[in-house]
Chains A and B, each alone.
Chain A
């Protein structure tokens, strides 16, 4: 290639790359993003506990024919009041299972009671292991999506954790990278004027203020349909500190 053509060619390539990049709205979830399949001490069946009830006959609560639809927050109880969702203590498992004699002789339950009799905690391994300099806050997201907006629990947890109710031991389903988090926080979310409690949705509800923590007042930004929009928090120090 002629020397004088080299720069314009490079420029064209760069512009094309930028244009293509701008077209993708959100980082793709690829197979690589799933992370390793982690061997847990007990292959905990999430699908049995949190899964939907028998799809053919929803009134059938027979656990062998479907899930129990247990709320994620029954076991991961710290999610709504702290940074971490937490792993339930062994007592919580036993609390139910000592009253379920029908599955007592199943191999996984036998294993479970071995830990209980030995008075040892189950050494669960971490699946969604963020770097030490990241402090994701579960509480805030639960408060916003479940308590304020009344969305279904499994849907909300699924934004980041995928369809756990169809898994045995959980596996990472989303990239859980900073860019991926930001892809949601950067979007212009429509500010619903009021939710069930009369609280505006798009930032946080303090008096008349319908934004909080964000630079953009919703009043300054409207989407094509003329609705108010606001972005999620844009502050490094929320997670990194």
Chain B
């Protein structure tokens, strides 16, 4: 460790969304979620609990806002003067958007959340000191803080459920922040296998837990750099560009008929998740 190294590394760590000299290559993990296909069944959230060792906190702590669901289904009501307002329920799966210029990264006092080379927003539990600044700065409110030392303080994995804990994922301790990782343990395993074979990860070789469990295939996940991937095709078809804070299609008069959009794009966070807007009855 020398001063030069320190400064070099700092500049690298703080390198933000892709620019011409350093494009994402060969990986940029991204997602697209078709809200028209989403039926709000919560299977993705359950799968996330199982895959990522999330504690089941119970009703009381949920009401205190101490729930740890990395993947949550947000529910909105679009009543539209319906006869039965319940028909107007709309669902939106919300998880860490893995922003390219993430507001959480710049404010972490200890550099516990960084950008990885394959376009993920990493969260390093053993480095985190629990300042919660990242959560305060996150526009999507998808970061969750461990207020308790599970499972010692609370029986969050009742008998035998402890056997289903995923050994590839750390069980987080008290006082650290956590969030959706795009199932990084699976990504890394696939990347290492591919690297050993001298190729890149093929489309369909790696799935996130939420994608795997979605009964309607609303979630697709893959490598945005790979033109063969489903995610790439969807982003392309919807004319959503990762490196833009306002899409060309939205600039034209009257907007666009395309369904693809990213949440709070104008905050210039450059999120990696594209949503496909629900097709409304009124539009059909």
Contacts and interface: CB of A to CB of B under 8 A. Distances in A.
Of listed A140, A199, A215, residue having the most chain B CB within 10 A? A215
B129 to A, nearest CB: 15
Contact of B117 (A132, A139, A140, A235): A235
B65 interface: no
Contact of B2 (A22, A135, A241): A22
Interface in B138-189: 168-170, 181, 184-185, 188
A236 interface: yes
Contact of B125 (A18, A179, A240): A240
Nearest to B192: A140
Given A199-B198, A209-B25, A215-B15, A131 B126 contact: yes
Interface of B: 1-5, 9, 12, 15, 22, 25-26, 114, 116-118, 120, 122, 124-127, 168-170, 181, 184-185, 188, 192, 195-196, 198-200
A108 to B, nearest CB: 33
16 contacts: A18-B3, A22-B3, A133-B126, A133-B170, A140-B192, A186-B5, A206-B198, A209-B26, A212-B195, A215-B22, A215-B117, A233-B117, A236-B127, A237-B116, A240-B170, A241-B185
Interface string A205-240: 110010011111000000000000000011111101
B170 A241 contact: yes
A137 B100 CA distance: 27
A205 B200 CA distance: 10
Contacts of B4: 22
A213 B25 CA distance: 8
A21 interface: yes
Contacts of B118: 213
Interface of A: 18, 21-22, 131-133, 135, 137, 139-140, 143, 147, 179, 182-183, 186, 199, 204-206, 209, 212-216, 233-238, 240-241
Contacts of A143: 195-196
B3 to A, nearest CB: 6
7 closest Cβ contacts across the A-B interface?
A: A22-B2, A237-B122, A143-B196, A133-B126, A236-B124, A215-B12, A133-B170
A137 B192 CA distance: 9
Of listed B120, B122, B196, residue having the most chain A CB within 10 A? B196
Given A235-B116, A236-B124, A240-B125, A206 B170 contact: no
A53 B198 CA distance: 36
Contact of B120 (A133, A233, A237): A237
B198 A236 contact: no
B22 A204 contact: no
Contacts of A132: 170
Nearest to B196: A143
Nearest to B22: A215
B188 A238 contact: yes
B192 A139 contact: yes
Nearest to A211: B25
A139 B169 contact: no
Contacts of B181: 237, 241
A140 B25 contact: no
A234 B9 contact: yes
A182 B5 CA distance: 11
A206 B12 contact: no
A216 B188 CA distance: 20
A25 B127 CA distance: 24
Given A215-B12, A241-B188, 16 more contacts: A22-B1, A132-B170, A135-B168, A139-B192, A139-B196, A140-B192, A143-B196, A147-B196, A183-B1, A212-B195, A235-B117, A237-B122, A240-B125, A240-B127, A241-B181, A241-B184
Nearest to A142: B196
Nearest to B169: A241
A78 B126 CA distance: 27
A204 B196 CA distance: 9
A238 B26 CA distance: 16
A186 to B, nearest CB: 6
Contact of B26 (A18, A206, A236, A237): A206
